[in-house]
Structure 1
Amino acid sequence: MLDIYERHYEAIYQYILFLTTNPAIVDDFVQETFIRFYHTKQIQNEKVLLIRIARNLVYDHFRRKRLLKWLPLAKIDYKDEAPLPEELLLRSQEVQELYKALAKIKMNYREVIVLRSIEELSVKEVAHYLELSEVQVKNYTAQGLKVLRNIIGREADV
């Protein structure tokens, strides 16, 4: 069981962090995800099950709190090389714009965009994880990106 934790910890941590944008609560969700996973009797695809458990935990939390915040669209990369201050400022502004735009689109679009664009999962993987058809994933991705571009374009014109 420890090998499952080691294999999937980073991916589950990142996924929950992207959904919550709150590093203070991520560890609790990751821990609860793996606890629930280990109590599951039927395991066909461990990563699929871990993502579903994590997703449900986060959604339940937000439903209870009635907080729906969404994520900056940038993979966290823990490299040793530090970016220049100008790069950090530019990235920060871009992330803020993207964050505001994402907050304005439908939840199902957001999640598909996160999994496809940030987590870089295939259409087939996203469909499997979210229990959607591949056609739905493609449609949500296209529609979500179109809405996102329109929102960002309108805000740039202001």
Structure 2
Amino acid sequence: MSFEEQYTQHFQAIYRYIFYMTGSKELAEDLTQETFLRVYNRGELHTEIAYIRTIARHLVYDHYRKKALIQWLPFTKQHEQQTTALPDLLIAKEELRELMKAMQQLKLSHKEVLIYRKIEGYSIEETARLLGWRTTKVVNTQRSAMKALQRILGGMYDDVE
């Protein structure tokens, strides 16, 4: 597989992952490009997305370390329930925006597990392999992350597998 094919095949997944981790389109674009630049500069073609995700993950963590944001991010706005009769699409968009704000307040490990498990739909075993963790750590981190999200959003805690 050529680099161009690899880039085309994996770009969207890597961009989405970085966007969910950072909450910034511009930063996600920059770090996605940096990810593929590093893959290209290594001169090795890796068809496994896990390899490329590892590079992306390290770049995101490096970004937060450099910015000294590895701790909890500041809470900027309380979650508000929609009470107006907006069309379903607008309500869903607002709920997604609130969820993204809440996700930015989670620890990186919590955010990462929720992205893999709840947003991208990976199994516990796949998530453990991607993160280099044991499955029990994935389960425990997911439970803690869901509870933290519940506290932030003030909503119901629902951790259905």
Question: What TM-score range do you get, normalising by the shorter chain?
Answer: 0.7 to 0.9
Report the Cα distance in structure 2 between the residues aligned to 1:149 and 1:5, rounded to whole angstroms. 36
Instruction: Give the structure 1 partner of residue 143 of structure 2.
Output: 142
Contact 2:114 2:142 in 1 (8 A): yes
What is the aligned partner in structure 1 of residue 24 from structure 2? 22
Match of 1:121, SS state, is: coil
- Per the TM alignment, residue 100 of structure 1 is displaced from its structure 2 partner at its CA by 4.4
Point out where structure 2 has 5 or more consecutive residues left out of the alignment.
75-85, 157-161
Q: Which amino acid aligns with 1:49?
A: Y
Q: What root-mean-square deviation, in Å, do the aligned CA atoms of Structure 1 and Structure 2 show?
A: 2.8
The answer (yes or no) to whether the contact 2:113–2:141 under 8 Å persists in 1 is yes
Which structure 1 segments of 5+ residues have no match? 71-84
Where do 1:76-95 residues align within 5 Å?
86-95=87-96
1:34, 1:44 → 2: CA distance?
11
- Structure whose residues are more often helix by fraction: 1
Other structure's SS at 2:55 match:
helix
1:1-158 aligned within 5 A = 1=2, 2-40=4-42, 46-67=48-69, 86-153=87-154
Q: CA deviation at 1:33?
A: 0.7
Partner SS, residue 66 of structure 1: coil
Task: Count residues with an aligned counterpart.
Answer: 141
- Find the residue that maps to 1:61 and give its secondary structure: helix
- Sort the Cα spacing of 1:44 and 1:8 in 2 relative to 1 into closer, same or farther, 3 A: closer
Aligned residues of 2:39 and 2:52 also touching (Cα < 8 A)? yes
Normalization by structure 1: what TM-score?
0.73
Structure 2 contact 125–135 (Cα < 8 Å) conserved: yes
Q: TM (normalized to structure 2)?
A: 0.72
Quick one: distance in 1 between partners of 2:29 and 2:152? 33
- Identity rate, percent: 35
Report the alpha carbon displacement of residue 154 of structure 1 after superposing the two structures with TM.
6.7
Of the structure 1 ranges 30-39 and 7-16, higher mean CA displacement relative to structure 2 is found in 30-39
